Amino acid sequence: MVKKVLKFGGTSVGTVERIQHVANIIKKEISLGNKVIAIVSAMAGKTNDLIKLSCEISNEFNKREFDVLLSSGEQVTCALLSGALIKLNMKAKSWLNWQIPILTSGEHSNARIINMHVEKINKYLNDGGVPIIPGFQGISKNGDITTIGRGGSDATAVAVAKIFNADTCEIYTDVDGVYSTDPNKIPVAKKIDKISYDEMLELSSLGAKVMQSSAVQTAMMYDISLEVRSTFTERKGTKIFSQENIDYSKSVTGVAYSKDDAKITLTGVQDKPGVAANIFEPLSKAQINVDMVIQNISSDQKTTDITFTVKRDEVFKTEQILKDNKNIKYKKIIQNNKVAKVSIVGAGMVSTPGITYRMFRALSDEKINILAISTSEIKLSVIIEEENVLKAIKKLHTIFDLD
């Protein structure tokens, strides 16, 4: 007997028929002798609809009531799924956030699960029942309803798997796993069978659509193995666990990209201690996330150029802050907001020499100019002109044997 946490996302429970289908998936697990705790999201689009309703009243809708409102989407799914299981002659029961209770700390709309009471639910599980728990919510220490951030049902699933000591945590969604690159762009992309938490996080431009990154981080922290799989096919999904459990036959696991980057260069900045700190401190205060940073070696020992990347929608704000910054001197600001980041990711890269060179050679064969480079142990990223992205991922996918 295996104790499983099964989480069903919004599209998986988007209609009554789909909820009935989910009930059948659970029924099958029970007939195999497994114990199941189900976590559900709101029906697809529901949370957005609820937000719209609150905006019709006020754009500064009361925070406490906002969480009461938003949490209701999951309540609906809990009841419908429970009802569908009961209709199949199964023993099932929904539990709302305050009935369990799921205890959270932190602010409304952005709370964090800290604990849950397990006795009642464990007893119900041991009696052969299927508890259905709403994702994305809890209560504060004052007993107010809280929500834990958009996409938070994944985090609920991971927390439940941890607190109930489940054997597996399966994330049912509308894709059948994590791919070696975007399958919509590159048809030869392959589904990855096994991936480490780190790789999953680094591939977040592909993986984020699949699972909330912070939930993957929590799973990594507690070493909870995950499986992402499709509600609509029986195919195996992608297993996500710690690196030791993976035997790397390939050095590169996937090719990721993001197209919303911008590059800023400051030329002629003084080459002395404190300059970089003076540049980046005001950016960080303004909550601007700086990604890659490159500083050239100064040829005259006096001045140098600093290049960095930010998200495209923050480039004007960044420029303004630099221009208003009295603490730095520079010659010019050069900006390019038509750039993209392409990364190869793989835990197997550590042990394979020559990956860097092969990536650069491949891009040069395609006549793609590299504008900036950054590396970590399991990732190698380059900034290139946005128009070259597709060509670059195609080529890299091929030369690293991922097709």
Q: Return residues touching Mg ion (CB under 5 A).
A: 9, 151
Q: Closest CB to ligand ASP among 47 and 218? A: 47
> Omega before 273 cis (within 30°)?
no
Site pattern 138..177 for ligand ASP (x: CB under 6 A): ------------xxxx------------------------
The listed partner (ligand ASP, Mg ion, none) that binds 136, CB under 5 to 8 Å by sort, is ligand ASP
Minimum CB separation of residue 99 from ligand ASP in Å reads: 19
Q: Are 313 and 260 in contact (CB under 8 A)?
A: yes
Backbone angles phi, psi at 322, to 5 degrees: -65, -40
Interior/surface letters 226-244, b for 16+ CB within 10 angstroms, e for the rest? bbbbbbeeeeebbbbbebe
What is the widest separation between alpha-carbon atoms in the chain? 80
| CA distances from residue 383 to 28, 186, 263 in whole angstroms, order as listed | 47, 20, 8
The listed partner (Mg ion, ligand ASP, none) that binds 129, CB under 5 to 8 Å by sort, is none
The listed partner (Mg ion, ligand ASP, none) that binds 250, CB under 5 to 8 Å by sort, is none
Site pattern 182..221 for ligand ASP (x: CB under 6 A): ----------------------------------------
Q: Closest CB to ligand ASP among 146 and 196? A: 146
Interior/surface letters 313-331, b for 16+ CB within 10 angstroms, e for the rest? ebbeebeebbeeeeebebe
Residue count, binding to ligand ASP (CB under 6 A): 12
Q: Closest CB to ligand ASP among 94 and 309? A: 94
Minimum CB separation of residue 250 from ligand ASP in Å reads: 32
Q: Catalogue the E-assigned strands of 254-324.
A: 254-270, 293-295, 303-311
* Chain residue whose CB lies nearest Mg ion: 9
* 58 Rama class: left (phi>0) / alpha (psi -120 to 50) / beta: beta
Residues of this chain, 29-88, that bind ligand ASP according to CB under 6 A: 41-42, 47, 73
Q: Closest CB to ligand ASP among 47 and 307? A: 47
Q: Closest CB to ligand ASP among 171 and 275? A: 171
**Helices and strands in the chain, H and E counts:** 12, 18
User: What are the tokens at 396?
Assistant: 């890299």
The listed partner (ligand ASP, Mg ion, none) that binds 47, CB under 5 to 8 Å by sort, is ligand ASP
The listed partner (Mg ion, ligand ASP, none) that binds 152, CB under 5 to 8 Å by sort, is ligand ASP
Query: How many CB atoms lie under 10 A from the CB of residue 353?
Result: 9
Site pattern 83..122 for ligand ASP (x: CB under 6 A): ----------------------------------------
Q: Are 160 and 5 in contact (CB under 8 A)?
A: yes
Q: The sheet that has 168-173: what strands, in order across it? A: 92-94, 130-134, 35-40, 3-8, 168-173, 226-230, 238-241, 194-196
Residues forming the site for ligand ASP (CB under 6 A):
9-10, 41-42, 47, 73, 135-136, 150-153
